[in-house]
Amino acid sequence: MARTPRLAFISVLAITLVTVLSCGTCPPAPSITSISPSSATAGNNEFLLTVNGNDFRRDSVVSWNDSFRVTTFISSHELVATITAMDIAQPGTVLVYVFNPPGGGTTFVSGGIGVMSTTSCSGKNSNAVSFTINS
């Protein structure tokens, strides 16, 4: 009979340790180190923009002047976005950034009673990089 409480305690302790060790911080914001190309001529055709940086995810999206573009995940350090001919129809400068949508929250269970806390993660933008559209 003495084994049942001990087994229950060990099970709760094991679940608590696994849950607490699962990290309770939100992922870092993405960052851009370079884009290629960094300029284009107004009126040219559609092209693929390569965005290099860090902390990209499969659900990351490239923003072109505050509008999301079709984005392909290559790796956590590279994304490719389709930039249309309409996007570069007029000369000027646009800002490019990467957006990581909100991730799922992390729930912590600690102690034998099961005290819970939840960390909610919001979406995060990278630094902005300028792209020049020449006339």
- Whole-prediction pTM: 0.73
pLDDT tens digits for 48-96?
A: 999 999 999 999 999 999 999 999 999 999 999 999 999 999 999 999 9
The CATH fold of domain 3-134: Immunoglobulin-like (2.60.40)
- Cβ atoms of 128 and 95 within 8 Å: the answer is yes
Q: Which amino acid type is present at position 87?
A: D
Buried b (16+ CB within 10 A) or exposed e, 34-57: ebeeeebeeeeeeeebbbbbebbe
